[in-house]
Chain A
C-alpha cells in the first residue's frame, strides 16, 4: 500500500481517513477496502523513513487533525516505483500443488478435485458479474479492475481444463 499512499499524497496533502476514502472511490468495491488502522501504520512508517511529514492542524472542539504531506524523498521514491517495470502474476497456485501432490498419497481423486475447483471458480465468476453490475458505469478504473479479475479467472479455468485433459 505504500506507493499508493505516496501517489495520492503527490496529488494533494490529506489525512488518513481521506486516503481510505480515495482508495475506495477510485478502485470501487472490487478492491478490498483498506483498513484505517493499516493506513495509519503505513503512514507512520513512511514518516519514519522521511517520505512523508505530518502537520497537526488545530480544529475547534475536536482533537487535532494530522495532515500528511509528501516530502522530496517521497516524490523520488514514488517516481522510482512508477518507472520500474512491474512483475507479472506468478503461477504459485495452491490448487495446482494439491492437484499434483494429493493423489500421490491416495487421499484424493483428481477428477473430483478438478470438478470441485471448477464450480468454485464459476461461483467466483458469478460474484464478479454481480460486482460489475453494481459498479457505477462511469467508474472506469473500478470496472477495468473487475474485468481484469474476470480475465485472470478465465485463464485459471482454461488451465484447469488443460489439467483435466492431461492428468485424468
Chain B
C-alpha cells in the first residue's frame, strides 16, 4: 500500500490576530490517495482556503497533523516546507499571486527552474501549458497587462510547471467564462489522467462534478464526503429531464 498523498488528522486553525479568535478549520480529517481528484465546496468563510493553505504549508496549523506522502509535514521548518513544495506541490492561489515584474513566460518557467529542471525542458513545458490554456500570444506580457481570467490561467500554468504530484488549487475557474473554464477543465483532466493528485476548492459545480470525490465544508468542518454517491445511477437521458423540468 502506498501512503496517501495528503492525510490530515484533526486539523485545526484558529486565527488569533484579531480581537476575538476565529476558528476557521475545526478538526478536519482529510485523506487523499495518490492520483485522486478531490473537490472542496462550501459557503464563503467555511474554511476552504485556510484548509488548503495549511496543506500546502502556506499557513501554520493551530493543532493536528498533516502528512504528505507518508511524511509528517506540519513539524517542518519554513525552509524545509519550501523545498517540499518546490518538489511535489503546485499551488494556485485564489488571488493569483503572480510575480509582477516578470513576464508571463518567466512566471510559468520559474517553478520548474527552481526545482532543477533544465532550461530547455522548462521552456518546452511552459509552451505546452500556455498553449493548452490559450495564452501563447500573451507569453511576453506582464501580469498587470492581463485580464483577471488570463492571470488566473497563468497561475494554473505556473502551478503545473514542475509536474507536481499534488496540485492544490483555490478557485481556479472563479474568474473564467464558459470557454476558458472548458480549457481549464480539459487541462485538469489531462493532469488527472497522468496520475497527479488534485485538491481543488470551487464553487463551480461543473468543475466539482468531474472530481472523484466532493468534500463539503461548513463552519470549518467536513459535513459530507461524497465518494460513491457521485457514481452515475441515472438511466440515459437523465440530463434531458433536467432541461424539461426547468423548461
Say if the beta carbon of A165 comes within 8 Å of chain B: yes
Whole-angstrom distance between the Cβ of A88 and the nearest chain B Cβ = 11
- Asked if A30 and B240 sit within 8 Å, CB to CB, the answer is yes
- Asked if A32 and B224 sit within 8 Å, CB to CB, the answer is no
The distance in angstroms between the C-alpha atoms of A46 and B147, with both chains bound, is: 53
- Chain A residues near B214 (CB-CB < 8 A): 118-119, 122
CB contact list, B12-45 vs A, under 8 A: 41-43
Whole-angstrom distance between the Cβ of A146 and the nearest chain B Cβ = 8
- Asked if A118 and B216 sit within 8 Å, CB to CB, the answer is yes
The distance in angstroms between the C-alpha atoms of A122 and B202, with both chains bound, is: 13
- Asked if B232 and A127 sit within 8 Å, CB to CB, the answer is yes
- Asked if B238 and A124 sit within 8 Å, CB to CB, the answer is yes
Comparing B63-71, B103-111, B204-212, the segment that makes contact with chain A is B204-212
Q: Count A-side interface residues using an 8 Å CB cutoff.
A: 38
- Asked if A129 and B206 sit within 8 Å, CB to CB, the answer is yes
Q: Count B-side interface residues using an 8 Å CB cutoff.
A: 32
- Asked if A128 and B246 sit within 8 Å, CB to CB, the answer is no
CB-based nearest A residue for B42: A161
Say if the beta carbon of A62 comes within 8 Å of chain B: no
- Chain A residues near B233 (CB-CB < 8 A): 123
Say if the beta carbon of B144 comes within 8 Å of chain A: no
- Interface residues as binary, A134-168 with B (CB distance below 8 Å gives 1, 0 otherwise): 00000000000111111011100110011011001
CB-based nearest A residue for B226: A119
Partner of B226, one of A31, A118, A146, A153: A118
Are A129 and B209 also in contact (CB < 8 A) when A118-B216, A119-B230, A149-B246 are?
yes
The distance in angstroms between the C-alpha atoms of A123 and B227, with both chains bound, is: 11
**Chain B binding surface SS class:** mixed
- Asked if A115 and B218 sit within 8 Å, CB to CB, the answer is no
- Asked if B230 and A115 sit within 8 Å, CB to CB, the answer is no
The distance in angstroms between the C-alpha atoms of A148 and B246, with both chains bound, is: 10
- Chain A residues near B137 (CB-CB < 8 A): none
The distance in angstroms between the C-alpha atoms of A32 and B244, with both chains bound, is: 7
CB contact list, B212-239 vs A, under 8 A: 214, 216, 218, 223-224, 226, 229-234, 237-239
Whole-angstrom distance between the Cβ of B217 and the nearest chain A Cβ = 10
Whole-angstrom distance between the Cβ of B24 and the nearest chain A Cβ = 16
Say if the beta carbon of A126 comes within 8 Å of chain B: yes
- Given pairs A122-B209, A161-B43, 17 additional interface contacts (CB within 8 A): A32-B243, A89-B246, A115-B223, A123-B230, A124-B234, A125-B205, A125-B208, A130-B239, A131-B240, A149-B243, A149-B246, A154-B204, A157-B205, A158-B203, A162-B43, A164-B43, A164-B223
On A, residues with C-beta under 8 Å from B are 29-33, 89, 111, 115-116, 118-119, 121-131, 145-150, 152-154, 157-158, 161-162, 164-165, 168
